[in-house]
A = this chain, B = another copy of it.
Amino acid sequence: MEKLSLTVKKITGPNHKLMEATQIRLDSLTKPLGSLGKLEELAKQIVGITGKNEPELSQKVIFTLAADHGVTEEGVSAYPKEVTAQMVYNFLRGGAGINVLAKHTGAKVVVVDIGVAEDLKPDPRLIVKKVNYGTKNMAKSAAMTREEAIKAIEAGIEIFNAELKNGIGILGTGEMGIGNTTAASAITACFTNKPVEEITGRGAGLNDLGLKNKIDIIKRSLFLNKPDSSDPIDVLSKVGGFEIGGLAGIILAAAANNVPVIIDGFISGAAALVAFKIEPKVKDYMIAAHCSVEAGHQVILEHIGLKPLLDLNLRLGEGTGAALGIGLADAAIKILTQMATFKSANVSEKKE
């Protein structure tokens, strides 16, 4: 718990003074005032987070954490549980959506086994931080112990800190875990008090009957475990997942180290929610990449107070939306640092 406490203590909030100076700089560039809209806001936010006038984003990292979920026993996913491990191998071979989009945006993918249900073949590119062999079935008991929940969050902090030694200019969150939209919906219901029906979707592709069953299972899990919404660790342990805890740790560690965090979709959103409940100041370090097709994601974004950059009907996860969001963040900082000013370009300013 000490690692977590120390990390949270380091989160101080963005540098508002630098953000004001950045607004003045943005307004001096050869474009009508505010005409690059959200890109300008993004540039300002990233300056505030990094505390640097000219943030250096060339080292882009996407953390893709994989874990299994005991609740898959209840038939809550359209895909078999084995897919979690199979997709980890796919990530390592470079064949998944996140590999393609990370390469496109110039980001490194850090693949982590934080709780896959089987031992994976050793691979120098795979980080193994297994908290356990998948969670327990939350419809029958708590998904994990309180100790495991803390361990998952602290594993995230360790993963971040290890990668920070190589340099991280900006990071994106990603995950893989068959069954994890069930956990994300349960977490969302718990923290936002929204009816389970409103924040539960089809995940990787459930039919109507499957969706109904998933909703029932989430309700049963919440009723059985009675997670305490005022205690984020309790919520994570009772209805969460190891990858969700790990990502919450990464988000907190990023904020503690002045690194901007691009939040991917619904499961990453649930991790963001856990981090936000642990330390609300983390909000200012988060950038929501997109709005997922999963209805619960919109509820999370509104609850935290984040506005998504993209709305492309994505629902893949892995960090794919975050990869695209990193591209926009990169563009925003280039606008700030590479454009000419009215003065330097000899362009006349606005009349009046």
Contact = CB atoms under 8 A, between A and B. Distances in A.
Nearest to A82: B348
B96 A340 contact: yes
A31 B90 contact: no
A83 B347 contact: yes
Interface string A172-199: 0000000000000000000000000000
B314 A312 contact: no
Interface in A334-352: 334-335, 338-340, 344-352
Nearest to A97: B31
B32 A100 contact: no
A281 B345 CA distance: 41
B316 A95 contact: no
A295 interface: no
B339 A37 contact: no
A293 interface: yes
Contact of A32 (B35, B103, B104, B205): B205
Contacts of A350: 78-79, 204-205
A37 B312 CA distance: 6
A163 B40 CA distance: 32
A125 B255 CA distance: 45
Contact of A315 (B35, B330, B346): B35
A328 interface: yes
A97 B204 contact: no
For this chain, the copies found in one complex come to 2
Contacts of A87: 30, 347
Nearest to A38: B312
A324 interface: yes
Contact of A39 (B37, B83, B314): B314
Interface in A99-158: 99-101, 103-104
Given A32-B205, A33-B205, A324-B328, A339 B96 contact: yes
A162 to B, nearest CB: 28
Interface in A187-226: 203-205, 207
A269 to B, nearest CB: 16
A351 B203 CA distance: 13
B32 A95 contact: no
A234 to B, nearest CB: 31
A39 B312 contact: yes
A86 B347 contact: yes
A80 interface: yes
A309 interface: yes
A45 interface: no
A320 interface: yes
A324 B313 contact: no
A169 interface: no
A13 interface: no
B205 A36 contact: no
Given A32-B205, A32-B315, A345 B93 contact: yes
- In order of increasing CB-CB distance, the 3 nearest A-B pairs are A95-B340, A37-B313, A32-B204
Interface of A: 29-33, 35-39, 78-80, 82-83, 86-87, 89-90, 93, 95-97, 99-101, 103-104, 203-205, 207, 293, 309-316, 320, 324, 327-328, 330-331, 334-335, 338-340, 344-352
Given A31-B97, A79-B349, A83-B348, 10 more contacts: A30-B96, A33-B205, A36-B316, A38-B314, A78-B351, A79-B350, A89-B346, A90-B340, A100-B335, A104-B334
